[in-house]
Amino acid sequence: MHELLTKRWIALATRFSSKSAIKFLDEIVHAYSRSKRHYHNTDHITALLELSYQYEHKLVSKAVVDFAIYYHDIVYKVPGSDNEHKSAVLAASRLKQMQVPDEMIGEVCAFIEATKSHDLVQVHNKTDLEYFLDFDMSILGAEWGDYLTYISRIRKEYALYPDLVYNPARKKFLNSTLNKPQIFLTEEFKERFEDNARRNMERELRLAN
């Protein structure tokens, strides 16, 4: 069921510590498989790992990117304004136990924290961060049917909020994203997804009115 997620984790983690690899994999799978995870689940992680594999020739440290993928949403509670920070703290703890070098841990945590705003932060490798953030945002440029599935699953994750609260917040996100000069940070993702992402979000806004 989680074959790719498992295979990639074992290949990644055993480079540092085979002793802890399975234990922390179980924790990751459990976190992303919880019943309230309708979008931020193992499917989301697998999709990002596929993109990381597809664009690995562009990455300087694929290990940093992949660790950030596995841990960036490991803490995901609604409501919750510090999920990214808590995810980074947990990642730091686990990677330290796996004897991952401190410099790499710092980069992973910075990447995770950056998903709060999807703006660039100060890191050693800016290019890898740009690709990581673009991987995370790529769903916005999906085909319309897949985009509809995405917004439906996001709505389920925020089910505790009535439409009166959820809809304005969703519109605020859409408008703030559309107002950015560009949604995607890398030229490859801008060319591949930018136009479709804008069409999807504008269409969603029209449907909401």
My answer on whether 14 and 73 are in the same domain is: yes
**In which band, very low, low, confident or very high, does the pLDDT at 155 lie, cut at 50, 70 and 90?**
very high
How confident is the model over 46-82, as pLDDT tens digits? 999 999 999 999 999 999 999 999 999 999 998 877 9
Considering the domain boundaries, does residue 127 fall inside one? no
- What is residue 111's predicted lDDT score, i.e. its pLDDT? 96
Backbone angles phi, psi at 34, to 5 degrees: -65, 150
My answer on whether 50 and 108 are in the same domain is: yes
Of the chain, the percentage scoring pLDDT greater than 70 comes to: 99
- What is residue 106's predicted lDDT score, i.e. its pLDDT? 95
Kindly give, in sequence order, each residue whose CB lies less than 8 Å from that of residue 201, ignoring residues fewer than 6 positions away.
Answer: 140, 174, 177, 178
Considering the domain boundaries, does residue 113 fall inside one? yes
My answer on whether 39 and 101 are in the same domain is: yes
In 3D, which of 59, 88, 56, 51 has the Cα closest to residue 71? 88
End-to-end CA distance of the chain: 39
Considering the domain boundaries, does residue 157 fall inside one? yes
1 pLDDT higher than 60 = no
Q: Name the residue type at position 16.
A: F
How many domains are there within the chain? 2
**In which band, very low, low, confident or very high, does the pLDDT at 2 lie, cut at 50, 70 and 90?**
confident
**In which band, very low, low, confident or very high, does the pLDDT at 130 lie, cut at 50, 70 and 90?**
very high
What is the 3-state secondary structure of 141-166?
HCCHHHHHHHHHHHHHHCCCCCHHHH
My answer on whether 75 and 16 are in the same domain is: yes
My answer on whether 91 and 26 are in the same domain is: yes
How confident is the model over 7-46, as pLDDT tens digits? 999 999 988 877 778 889 999 999 999 999 999 999 999 9
- What is residue 167's predicted lDDT score, i.e. its pLDDT? 95
Of the chain, the percentage scoring pLDDT greater than 90 comes to: 85
87 pLDDT higher than 60 = yes
Mean pLDDT (the chain, rounded) = 93
Domain final position from 120, 154, 177: 120
My answer on whether 116 and 144 are in the same domain is: no
Backbone angles phi, psi at 158, to 5 degrees: -105, 30
Alpha carbon distance 110, 122 (integer Å): 8
How confident is the model over 107-128, as pLDDT tens digits? 999 999 999 988 777 778 899 9
Residue 70 CB neighbours (<10 A)? 27
162 pLDDT higher than 60 = yes
Considering the domain boundaries, does residue 129 fall inside one? no
Burial grade of 160 (CB within 10 A; 0-12, 13-18, 19 or more): exposed
Integer angstrom CA distances of residue 115 from 35, 73, 174, 199, 209: 23, 9, 16, 23, 28
- What is residue 17's predicted lDDT score, i.e. its pLDDT? 77
Q: Name the residue type at position 174.
A: L
Considering the domain boundaries, does residue 186 fall inside one? yes
**In which band, very low, low, confident or very high, does the pLDDT at 198 lie, cut at 50, 70 and 90?**
very high
Containing domain of residue 170, as a range?
139-208
